[in-house]
Amino acid sequence: MSMPAPPRLLDLAGQSLLRDQASAIAALEVLPMELFPPLFTAAFAGRHSETLKAMVQAWPFPCLPLGALMKEQQPHQETFQAALDGLDVLLAQEVRPSRWKLQVLDLRKNAHQDFWTVWSGTRASMYSLLEPEVAQPTRKKQKVDGCRPRPKPPLAPVEVLIDLCLKESTPDESVAYLIQKVKQRKGLLHLCCKKLKIFAMPMQNIRKILNIVQLDSIQDLEVNCTWKLSTLGKFAPHLGQMANLRRLLLSHIHMSSHSTPAKEEQCISQFTAQFLRLHHLEELYLDSISFLEDQLKAFLVVCLKTPLETLSITNCLLSESDLTHLSQHLNVSQLKDLGLSGVSLTNMSPEPLQVLIERASATLQDLDLDECGIMDSQFTDILPALGRCSQLTTFSFCGNPISMAVLENLLRHTIGLSNLSHVLYPAPLESYEDVRGTLHLGRLAQLHARLKQMLQELGRPGMVWFSANPCPHCGDRTFYDPEPILCPCYMPA
């Protein structure tokens, strides 16, 4: 039976020091910098609030990654507030301590994961965090008679990095306390948020929070709210200030039955105009946006100047004119992912989609055309363009009424795409028993085996083709690769 490892001398020394709060705080003046992380970890775990407050003020590194520590240990509200109070005391001082190096308080839980375990400086990759900045040699002041002393340079603000998720009517206790401190030390404490998710919160509360966030720090924004178009219009000015935004997801924006066409047009224009300022946008996801029909020209063609890497427009109503503008004018020079899932293309000419795919063929890696209602004749017309997508790795087109003959034709057109590894296709029309959408699993198995045989014969046995179609009873998909993964509706009673 193995014996537990004895406690390290360093751990014992830290525990002993923390038992005497006054001694622990006094020792910070002479404590070697490499001992700060383990002592801070012990003080945080033991809820030594006053010691934590003092340690924040004496922190000898440019960054304090508190969020990573909070992820490992269940934080106590009093402990978290003590750390912020220490920072608050520091910022209140007109003359900052000579040892003070803290520039960033990082509250993100997925950043600097290994900082607290690498405190001894044995890993060179951590030196940027562990080593304080090299002090510049001081110059002797020259006295000049009759000259007034130069004004002191403004104190550099401390940045607080946090990922915000707004999903309640009001922010939680920790975020509320942080907001209070930022307001109190306005100009000295900058609240920076790289990732912002908005699920459910009254707009007036959202705006109060955004008014104190450094909006140009936001790089990833998700808005998963059921908003009226007028609410989106109120949010739009904040979006325009997110100058470094890389990724935007917007979902479930609906038109109000009480709004006038003029008011709707004003809100749409106010929103789309913000994209003129988003010069770094790379990924755009639009889901269930009710106002997109006949607006893509103004939205993506006129206002969006930056080339996107990802464009996903899902469950939206588009006109043929929209798709035409998209295919002819969208900057596709860097487009890697294109998704049009849930956009009905049944009654449209296949030419715009064909042109769009062909223009993006040099860079396109992932293509999603699920549930688009694409018919055999339309699909046949886009096959040559698909065959030119040399970088394509994944292609999904479930939920489209496609015959086995067209599937075989697709396989022949794409067999030469060396990067294509996964194709998710609908159950062919021949595999259904009736017009209600009941699958005949035996036929589906035979058709799937036929495609697998063709892949083998054409020298691509490693390419994964598997089918999926929603169950007409419950909506769950039935997958087949190579055996069916069935929903409960197909299971014997």
Among residues 85, 104, 120, the one where a domain terminates is 120
The sheet carrying 189-192 orders its strands as 63-64, 104-106, 158-161, 189-192, 213-214
Q: Is residue 483 a part of any domain in this protein?
A: yes
Q: Is residue 84 a part of any domain in this protein?
A: yes
Looking only at the bridges linking them, the beta strands covering 213-214 and 464-470 are unpaired
Percent of the chain with pLDDT over 90: 50
Q: Is residue 372 a part of any domain in this protein?
A: yes
Cis geometry, peptide bond prior to residue 65 (ω within 30 degrees of 0): no
Number of domains in the chain: 2
Task: Determine whether 212 is exposed, middle or buried from the number of CB atoms within 10 Å of its CB (0-12, 13-18, 19+).
Answer: middle
Instruction: Encode 338-367: b = buried (16+ Cβ within 10 Å), e = exposed.
Output: bbbbbbebeebebebbbbbbbbbbebbbbb
Q: Specify the CATH number for the domain of residue 423.
A: 3.80.10.10
CA 316 remoteness from chain centre: 22
Q: Is residue 63 a part of any domain in this protein?
A: yes
Q: Is residue 295 a part of any domain in this protein?
A: no
* pLDDT on residue 261: 87
Q: Is residue 366 a part of any domain in this protein?
A: yes
* pLDDT on residue 123: 40
List the domain range (segments joined by +) for residue 375.
Answer: 334-492
* pLDDT on residue 62: 92
* pLDDT on residue 94: 75
* pLDDT on residue 475: 63
Q: Is residue 129 a part of any domain in this protein?
A: no
Measured distance between the N- and C-terminal CA atoms of the chain, rounded to whole angstroms: 51
Residues (pLDDT < 70) of the chain are 1-17, 19-20, 72-75, 96-99, 118-154, 301, 469-493
pLDDT digits (tens, 9 = 90+) for 231-277: 999 999 999 999 999 999 999 999 877 778 888 899 999 999 999 99
* pLDDT on residue 11: 57
Among residues 120, 136, 154, the one where a domain terminates is 120
Q: Is residue 369 a part of any domain in this protein?
A: yes
* pLDDT on residue 120: 40
Q: Please give the model's pTM, rounded to 2 decimal places.
A: 0.86
CB within 8 Å of 230: residues ≥ 6 apart: 256, 259, 263, 267
Among residues 70, 98, 120, the one where a domain terminates is 120
